[in-house]
Structure 1
Amino acid sequence: MVSLGISALLEDLSAPWMVPSRLILAYLDDIYILSNGPATLDEMHSFFSTLQPSIQLNMAKSKTVGLEDR
């Protein structure tokens, strides 16, 4: 049921105006955002703070990982 509850959020995250170079993957209550932009985490924090005030981004569980770090 979590997936149904966040379907509008996932549509907003995958909208072309959110930068078309992102891939949004979701499983249950986890959302993964794959992007080539270094400021994506900051942009997502702003998105959740401004456009999705009822759902908060947990910054303690959020991180940026570069492919070169793997």
Structure 2
Amino acid sequence: MTEATQQSRKEKRRSKKIHLCHCCGREFQFCWNCRCGFSICQECMYENEWGMTCNGITWECPDCSAQNGFGNQ
């Protein structure tokens, strides 16, 4: 592997992805994502947590009803 390809891989890995929250419409570097493409920011997750989770370990996607983890297990 050449030095140029190693450099481009490092830059690609370090680049920050911008996610669009489906609830508030703002852009964030971190959002909770579902496999169907639904994204929700941390602030909106806190506001809507009462309707999206019953155990605090998983949350249910409002679009496809898939179960997603909070990553706290």
Q: TM bucket by the smaller chain?
A: under 0.3
Question: TM-score normalized by structure 2?
Answer: 0.24
Of the two, which has the highest radius of gyration?
Answer: 2
Name whichever structure is richer in helix by fraction: 1
